[in-house]
A and B are shown apart, each in its own frame.
Chain A
Amino acid sequence: MSALLVVLEHDRGKWSEANDEALTAARQLVADMADGAELHAVLIGDGALDLAGQAGAGGAAVVHVANDAMLTDFGPEACGETVVQLAVAESVAAVMAVGTSRGNEVLAQVAARMDLPFVANCMTIAPGAGSWSMTRVQWGGSLLEDATLDSGDGPKLVTYGHHAVVAAPAAAPGAGEVREFAPTLDASLARTIVKDRDVQTAGVTLSTAPVVVSGGRGVGSAEGFAQLEELASLLGGRVGCSRAVTNLGWRNHTDQVGQTGTRIAPEIYIATGISGAIQHWVGAMASKRILAINTDAEANMVAKADYAVIADLHKVVPAITAEIKRRKGL
């Protein structure tokens, strides 16, 4: 029986939220594959065994737990090689992951090692008897590409875009049979294993903030962001910015919203002095509501927003802050 192998992620036993998406997508894909393919999952490294049950609950018939001294911490080459050896040993029909930073990197490693094509960041996949068809994202989501994937006799290698699939619980759990897998890893692969970590205290990050107050070129200066900082802190939110602002050196790149910055999903996005170029928009479009403050009524940000004020942000932002303070009795 053919199998779809889904590569799951974790951090020393901490389940990644992307796994729920991966399993949701995998259940659909396996159902669409011909000849009743079986859903296999692989968990790699320290703490993986503890998560096997969760993979089974998510629909996996078989959960491979790969362990080796070299797999304790993440290493793209060691992980890629492990997946290759497992895929070959099980003669799987396809290997799939979610296109997180690690997911795409591990699949690229698998593809390079097997010299097979790999299609990254799919939205939908239609498996066929020979080649597969898919729709994938380009430009970080601003453009879609219909593509085909022909892998000859080898397994199909694909990732789904992160957040392309809405995670849902499995209607019924899989058998979740646990199989230990011991890859043979060459000592040289240690060269790309994590040596150390530097993790700062999290707090509210841009990607998880309930409110994001962003400024673009229209803010006019680094100092001009003080008013946005004040408003954001009153709302328990974070300040964001456009790439124009980062390039001008007004804000750090960690504040940049967009294709090459951070993707945000706040309850409300307040975009001030931002024109709304597509590369900015793809980072902001998951916001529940958008308020644009812009002097230009024709700006793309205004056209795409739920609410807009057509005025100078330097007048409107302080007025919002004052009104909030008034209502809060501050």
Chain B
Amino acid sequence: MNILVCVKRVPAPGAKINVTDDGQSVDAAHLGFTTSPHEECALEEAVQIAERDGGEVTVLTLGPVEAEEQLRYAASVGAHKIILVPTDGSAWDPQRTAVALTQAIETAEAANGSAFELILFGNESADSGGFQVGVRVAHKLGRPIVNAIKGIVPGDGSVTANREIDGGFEVYEVPTPAVLGVKEGINLPRYPTMKGRLASKKAVLETAEIDAAAGGQTLVKLHRPPEQASNTEILGTDESAASAIVDILEEIGVLA
């Protein structure tokens, strides 16, 4: 089964998240970057399926040229092909992103001479969280999509997909070619091996220059939510604090 995974490069902030002076992006001057967690799991799922059943895994990202780092990482954990749609680094709105990704997918499928049987997106990106790019792309391609997927079993001409709901799963059986929005927890992504790292350096980066018109959602300004003021009461510096802790548990009624 040939699978395409669409991933996004995002900064990896720690205790605080800062915004640039112009309010247009996260201040990433001192931050590392990573692949959005849902997509990291989508990639792992694709690699596992390909290892088991054969087929190729292609990873596609739309982002700044630096997103090559995330594509090479993908190659280091098992992706066979990597494709970048370069942007100027500004945040593209969801409609613009979806149009460009669809075009990149159509071009890749034309070159392959066949459709990807499965396309995986993250359920939502870690940063902007628009909850829609995968759905828009699937619709443009005329393919089915279901989101919030935490289990995939490829079948013959279809995939069985489990969607997480309160206290269980809904089961979908979607005909291929299909698109799924995947959530973290579907698997535990592997770390790259030394051999994988070396192979990723040799992976051929394909670049697809595509632009698209801006959509109707426009970012005006990013800002941090107001800090919840907290006055931490230090109950102690060793295990003798246990008594004060249990007093509190008793007081708030969770000890009964």
Contact = CB atoms under 8 A, between A and B. Distances in A.
Interface stretch (B45-53, B65-73, B234-242): B234-242
Interface stretch (A20-28, A38-46, A106-114): A106-114
B168 A197 contact: yes
Contact of B242 (A113, A150, A319): A319
Contacts, number: 275
Contact of B171 (A145, A152, A198, A202): A198
B220 A112 contact: no
Contacts of A243: 37
Interface stretch (B78-86, B107-115, B139-147, B204-212): B139-147
B252 A289 contact: yes
Contact of B15 (A268, A276, A309): A276
Contact of A191 (B164, B175, B252): B175
Interface in A243-293: 243, 246-247, 249, 252-254, 256, 259-261, 267-268, 275-279, 285, 288-289, 291-292
A120 B215 CA distance: 14
B32 interface: no
B232 interface: yes
Given A304-B230, A307-B232, A268 B220 contact: no
Contacts of A121: 129, 131
A246 B184 CA distance: 10
Contact of B249 (A74, A235, A256, A277): A235
Interface residues of A, number: 101
B216 A120 contact: no
Given A76-B146, A108-B131, A289-B252, A323 B243 contact: yes
B188 A247 contact: yes
A143 B217 contact: no
B26 A324 contact: no
A83 interface: no
A123 B144 CA distance: 30
A160 B246 CA distance: 39
Interface in B215-256: 215-225, 228, 230, 232-243, 245-246, 248-250, 252-255
By CB atoms of chain A within 10 A, which of B131, B139, B147, B221 has the most? B131
A195 B232 contact: no
B129 A138 contact: yes
Nearest to A291: B245
Given A117-B216, A311-B236, A315-B239, A327 B94 contact: no
B215 A117 contact: yes
Contacts of B232: 292, 302-308
A307 B235 contact: yes
A223 interface: no
Contacts of B144: 77, 191-192
A235 B217 CA distance: 47
Interface in A2-27: none
Contacts of B173: 195
Contact of A285 (B170, B228, B242, B249): B228
A148 B220 CA distance: 7
Given A192-B172, A276-B15, A306-B232, A319 B166 contact: no
Interface stretch (A48-56, A61-69, A97-105, A168-176): A97-105
A327 B128 CA distance: 49
A208 B128 CA distance: 27
A310 B234 contact: yes
Nearest to A234: B255
Given A192-B144, A192-B146, A308-B233, A268 B249 contact: yes
B151 to A, nearest CB: 10
A118 B37 contact: no
A140 B144 CA distance: 26
B187 to A, nearest CB: 9
Contacts of B139: 109, 112-113
B167 A144 contact: no
Contacts of A199: 165, 167-169
A319 B239 contact: yes
B106 interface: no
Given A291-B245, A316-B239, A278 B95 contact: no
A322 B17 contact: no
Contacts of B221: 145-146
Interface string B82-125: 00000000000111001000000000000000000000000010
B9 interface: no
Interface of A: 74, 76-77, 99, 101, 104-105, 107-109, 111-113, 115-121, 133, 137-152, 159, 191-202, 205, 210-211, 235-237, 243, 246-247, 249, 252-254, 256, 259-261, 267-268, 275-279, 285, 288-289, 291-292, 297, 300, 302-311, 315-316, 318-320, 322-324, 327-328
17 contacts: A105-B147, A108-B132, A112-B138, A119-B217, A120-B129, A145-B221, A192-B146, A253-B184, A267-B253, A268-B248, A268-B254, A288-B252, A305-B230, A309-B241, A315-B238, A324-B249, A328-B255
Given A137-B129, A237-B254, 18 more contacts: A104-B124, A108-B135, A111-B136, A116-B216, A117-B93, A118-B94, A120-B131, A143-B19, A144-B225, A149-B216, A198-B162, A199-B167, A253-B188, A256-B184, A259-B126, A307-B245, A308-B232, A310-B237
